[in-house]
Structure 1
């Protein structure tokens, strides 16, 4: 069974930020097809019935959970195309496929959009992943998933704060699916390495541990035991962006967590190595489209009237 470092998993989950999370409930008759979009991230929870893939979902990781003891048995890899009530599927898009209903089926489907288009989530996860027995592994998140989709969204008036609440609900379910997949032995060996390169992993770890340090290319190359030119080329090839862009990404992800914790903009800008509050705010806005203060307000849980 492959185990995942708890701190590494926390870093992955903490970096996920949704801009949109729209849920809907879909009822399918036996044999009906539900196309899964190729241009967005889609989360599917099987509330009743079952589905199989076209093309088949292929080899994956099956998690068998004993209801009494909560003991988890992992069979990986195993060919299991059929997903049944209580299972979850996450598709990152890219390859067209559809789900076909096995009998009368009810699905909760969430269309997701990341707040940061350069998020490493797509690089860290396979094109799609399945979590069997999600309802047993994450009962609270499964209950949330089963009840968050409207049968007819057009018939339900939008109340103040609903988009924020829906996005937060969708993010909770998404993070729970990723955590269940990774923490229970379905992640591949070495996950969540972005680079599959121990020297570059050492660099990435250093950036995440000290995001506010003055990270020059020379300093990072030294940590990776490479020349400046070799490091820059290997980094961009493996991670898909420049070292400077990755440092900014890590800093903004850290800033979001600090804003959630109630830290002031001045404290955050100093800790993350920015020369001024204005410089930090400009970098944050370029990355998220919002000022730090606006982002904090948008992500605050609304207080019921």
Structure 2
């Protein structure tokens, strides 16, 4: 019983520590969530949280499991999926998300989803017909 109590205590401590660290990057997460179209720099995000950019990057990766840049790209692609399913054109979606180039947007989109934005839109997010 004591071993079980010890394990539960350790899990609670780890959970509290993770929650505390997540709150340390909370302002940056909020900035990304509220303005996914903005090309946030690591320095801007770190400054918002009050940390040196190197420490912030390490902390962010520890908490989120991925570095800030890939995280921001994934967030943009999540929003892109929503916009494309709402019948937004690929060019409009790319522009709304801050991409200067439709080609660059399409490359990011396909690298994450495995589909081009136009195919995603055409097939409603489902994989298209097998050729």
- Name the TM tier (shorter chain): 0.7 to 0.9
The correspondence of residues 90-239 of structure 1 with structure 2, limited to 5 A, is: 196-239=21-64
**Matches for 1:38-53 after TM superposition, within 5 Å:** none
1:77-122 per-residue CA deviation (whole Å, 9 max, x = no partner) reads xxxxxxxxxxxxxxxxxxxxxxxxxxxxxxxxxxxxxxxxxxxxxx
Deviation per residue, 1:136-162 (Å, 9 max, x gap):
xxxxxxxxxxxxxxxxxxxxxxxxxxx
User: Secondary structure, in 3 states, of the residue corresponding to 2:25?
Assistant: helix
Say if 1:217 and 1:243, in contact at 8 Å, map to a contact too: yes
Q: CA 1:262–1:234 in 2, change beyond 3 Å: closer, same or farther? A: same
> Do the aligned residues in 1 keep the contact of 2:91 with 2:102 (CA within 8 Å)?
yes
Aligned with 1:286 (options 92, 98, 111): 111
Q: Does 1:262 align with 2:87?
A: yes
Cα shift at 1:292:
0.4
Q: Which structure shows the higher strand fraction?
A: 1
**What are structure 1's unaligned runs of at least 5 residues?**
1-189
What CA RMSD, in Å, does the superposition of the two structures yield over aligned residues? 2.1
Cα distance in 2 between the residues matched to 1:240 and 1:258: 26
Contact 1:195 1:201 in 2 (8 A): no
Structure 1 residues 206, 277: closer, same or farther in 2, change over 3 A?
Answer: same
The answer on whether the counterparts of 2:21 and 2:59 sit within 8 Å (CA) in structure 1 is no
Counterpart among 52, 67, 78 of residue 253 in structure 1: 78
Question: Is contact 1:194-1:239 (8 Å) kept?
Answer: no
CA contact (8 A) 2:27 2:48 kept: yes
Instruction: Tell me which of the two structures has the higher relative contact order, counting C-alpha pairs closer than 8 angstroms and 6 or more residues apart.
Output: 1
User: How far did 1:230 drift?
Assistant: 0.7
Query: After TM superposition, which residue ranges in structure 1, 4 or more long, deviate above 3 angstroms?
Result: 193-196
Q: CA deviation at 1:237?
A: 0.7
| Shift, 1:197, TM fit | 2.6
Partners of 2:90 and 2:70 lie apart in 1 by 21
Residue equivalent to 2:102? 277
* Paired positions, count: 110
CA–CA distance in 2 between the matches of 1:270 and 1:207?
17
What CA distance in whole angstroms lies between the structure 1 residues aligned with 2:93 and 2:56? Answer: 29
Q: Which runs of 5+ in 2 are unaligned?
A: 1-15, 127-131
Structure with a larger share of its residues in helix: 2
